[in-house]
Amino acid sequence: KNQVEQSPQSLIILEGKNCTLQCNYTVSPFSNLRWYKQDTGRGPVSLTIMTFSENTKSNGRYTATLDADTKQSSLHITASQLSDSASYICVVSEGSYIPTFGRGTSLIVHP
């Protein structure tokens, strides 16, 4: 069964600090991996998308990495801001119409 596991489940950091979120998956065959940011009470918003041949992708202060051999991805947030407080969701697709979503990492940034 395809699975996407995210860690940690929740994370609290101080404003200005960096953090890294992890995503491990067992989806096969692999098509792409996406990271979404979901603010409380809103729909997810795309941050990055990576295919098999890409191992890093940046979007401002967000940098995602992908190791397709070990089936791991990470999302690194640099110089965190209060507005980064949200849930971050890893999504892995096998090319069909049914993606597999992780449960998300809840990030809280304190001033």
Instruction: Name the minimum Å distance from CB 40 to another protein.
Output: 11
CA 71 from chain centre, in angstroms, equals 13
Q: Residues interacting with another protein, by CB under 8 A?
A: 4, 31-32, 34, 41-46, 49, 89, 91, 93, 95-104
DSSP H helices, 1-111, are none
Q: How far apart are CA 8 and CA 87, in angstroms?
A: 11
Q: Which is nearer to another protein, 44 or 80 (CB)?
A: 44
Least distance between another protein and beta carbon 16 (Å): 29
Nearer to another protein, 97 or 111 (CB): 97
Q: Among residues 77 and 91, whose Cβ is nearest to another protein?
A: 91
Kindly state the smallest distance separating residue 9's Cβ from another protein, in Å: 10
> Omega of the bond prior to 99 within 30 degrees of 0, cis?
no
Q: Are 33 and 49 in contact (CB under 8 A)?
A: yes
